Amino acid sequence: MPGNDVPTAVREQYEELPYPLRDPRDEERRLIHTIGSNLVVVNHFCFKGRMDFRTGFRCLVAGGGTGDGLIYLAEQLRDFDAEIIYLDMSVASRRVAEERARVRGLSNITWVTGAIEDMQKLDLGEFDLIHCTGVLHHLESTENGLQDLAAALNEHGSMLLMLYGKYARRPVYDMQALLRAYLPEGIGRREKIEKVRQLIDCLPETNWFRRDLANWGHEISPGGNGDPGLYDLLLHACDQAFDVPGLYALAGSAGLHIQGFPVGSERYNPFSAIQDEAVREQFERMDLPMQQATAELLHCDISRHEFYVGRGTDSVASLDDEDNALLMFWKMYGKHRQLADAMLPGKVFTLQVDHHQIRINCSEILKHLFACMDGQIPLHEMYERVHQALPMASREAIRAELKGIYTVMHERGLLYLVMAGNLATGLPDYDRLNQVPGGDSAGVDPNTLKIDP
Ligand SMILES: C[S@@+](CC[C@H](N)C(=O)[O-])C[C@H]1O[C@@H](n2cnc3c(N)ncnc32)[C@H](O)[C@@H]1O
């Protein structure tokens, strides 16, 4: 709750309890990667798929914490002439991030200890990308913080932000209110944590936080974010949450536009949940921001809004630009041929990736299209190839099939657009990154491809 000593309390918290809890030795066995910090995804949403990251790319990780986004970006940019600046006011957090970079042998990071509010004085220059996740909602003024960051974006630059979601975190705010009333004044952080753990063990079954504990268990459990996670979630001195209209208002206050929601996009789309035609019609009357706002209320499970903002309104790669190619991504990376081969026209194909289950009505057209989703073949050539192979299929029919499957797979983070050819030259070598043993990026599990008879 904002007050005079809030910035001091926030800084002291992260000095005592760096967050998220990370052991630098884990860098020897896995690479933590996140969708929004992936450069293919950044390229799709922020640079029309056309950014060449090899020369002169500048990136600021503001409030970089113990280094998750930082390390992933630095790893992807390792072989390029790119500059990554880490900024955080917590020295203890920086030490963890520095040690993680050392273990990985990363030397492309410039380290700065300081506050976002002092950006002007720090004079760090202009950036193509600013990465600021889980930070601005802890500032006394989120608007001022965003403006400070926006002033450091170059003309075509974009930011990745993560801000808390209002509705999914309701049980957390109820619990915070309980703790404000329950905890004695004047006790230290460690004692507070102990008392909160005692109380959590006694919560009645009717308590909303207890009912919702499965969603927060990782944050507070010793095997997850432990004590730093518990303090961050339930005892933070400044913690604000946003709904979708609040995000639009915040972006607008800094002269920025929302460019997309890379994580869980389907939860910003009411049509992903509603099959009933009459109900869908009602949503069709709404503009996009209103659809997204109502979708958040429909789903009620967005605890974190991860989104890109920038000055441009046309930064997102589009199917209409037929120089773009399609790239299967995330756990489907490099699996386009495997998928095409597994498809039997006339049958229903179930693609199971993580919690997503996508049922695809296979057709000859789709089988041919999937085989071309290698990030290299431009859309116009794809259409031509399919038309050559299936002369009876009109170009309109081919485009329509592609649009349908693109919408479904893109919303689930499995398909992106990239300027054809850019993959080979201007993007990181994801095959190398995928080889990190035990990493989340270990590739697609063959068991995730399943065909229904
Ligand atoms: C919740 S952690 C998030 C860390 C990281 N961005 C991530 O997503 O894993 C918030 C971080 O922001 C830093 N921070 C908070 N307010 C800040 C400010 N005004 N200026 C710079 N850093 C700040 C804290 O020190 C802390 O390391």
pLDDT at 31 (0 to 100):
86
Q: Is 270 within a domain?
A: yes
Domain-terminating residue out of 286, 310, 334: 310
Both 122 and 263 in one domain: the answer is: yes
CB 65 near ligand 1, within 6 Å: yes
Q: Is 199 within a domain?
A: yes
Nearest to 43 by CA among 429, 427, 330: 427
pLDDT at 430 (0 to 100):
61
Q: Is 1 within a domain?
A: no
Domain-terminating residue out of 234, 253, 277: 234
pLDDT at 428 (0 to 100):
60
> Any bridge partners for residue 325, and if so which?
378, 418
pLDDT at 431 (0 to 100):
60
CB 229 near ligand 1, within 6 Å: no
The residue range of the domain holding 201 is 170-234
Both 17 and 76 in one domain: the answer is: yes
Q: What is the pTM of this model?
A: 0.92
Give me ligand 1 centre to Cα 354, in Å: 29
- Using CA positions, which residue lies closest to atom 13 of ligand 1? 63
Ligand 1 pocket: which of 122, 135, 159, 227 to mutate (most atoms <8 Å of CB)? 135
Both 149 and 135 in one domain: the answer is: yes
Q: Which helix (H) or strand (E) holds 85?
A: strand 81-88
**β pairing state of 127-133 and 55-62:** parallel
Q: Which residues contact 274 (CB under 8 A, 6 or more apart)?
A: 280, 283, 298
Ligand 1 pocket: which of 88, 91, 163, 231 to mutate (most atoms <8 Å of CB)? 88
Give me ligand 1 centre to Cα 176, in Å: 20
Both 95 and 175 in one domain: the answer is: no
Both 126 and 50 in one domain: the answer is: yes
Q: Is 384 within a domain?
A: yes
Both 373 and 445 in one domain: the answer is: yes
> Any bridge partners for residue 356, and if so which?
353
Q: Which atom of ligand 1 is least distant from the CA of 115?
A: 20
Q: Is 47 within a domain?
A: yes
pLDDT at 424 (0 to 100):
54
Both 342 and 445 in one domain: the answer is: yes
Domain-terminating residue out of 234, 252, 272: 234
Both 139 and 271 in one domain: the answer is: yes
Q: Is 316 within a domain?
A: no
- Please count the other Cβ atoms lying within 10 Å of the Cβ belonging to residue 28: 11
- Please count the other Cβ atoms lying within 10 Å of the Cβ belonging to residue 440: 12
Output the six-digit token pair for 206.
């009717």
Q: How many domains does the chain have?
A: 3
Both 132 and 174 in one domain: the answer is: no
Q: Is 318 within a domain?
A: no
pLDDT at 400 (0 to 100):
95
- Please count the other Cβ atoms lying within 10 Å of the Cβ belonging to residue 167: 15
Both 252 and 206 in one domain: the answer is: no
pLDDT at 429 (0 to 100):
60
Assign residue 22 the CATH number of its domain.
Answer: 3.40.50.150
Both 214 and 250 in one domain: the answer is: no
Residue 437 vs residues 36, 115, 337, 418, 432: alpha-carbon distances, Å: 22, 36, 24, 27, 11
Lay out the sheet containing 55-62: strands in order across: 109-113, 81-88, 55-62, 127-133, 153-164, 304-310, 257-260
Both 114 and 254 in one domain: the answer is: yes
pLDDT at 352 (0 to 100):
83
CB 69 near ligand 1, within 6 Å: yes
**β pairing state of 324-328 and 374-378:** antiparallel
Block means of pLDDT (10 residues each) for the chain, length 453 residues?
A: 74 97 92 88 94 92 97 92 97 98 97 97 97 98 98 97 98 98 96 98 97 94 94 97 98 98 92 92 97 96 97 94 91 86 88 82 93 93 94 92 93 89 60 41 36 36
- Using CA positions, which residue lies closest to atom 12 of ligand 1? 63
Give me ligand 1 centre to Cα 333, in Å: 31
Q: Is 317 within a domain?
A: no
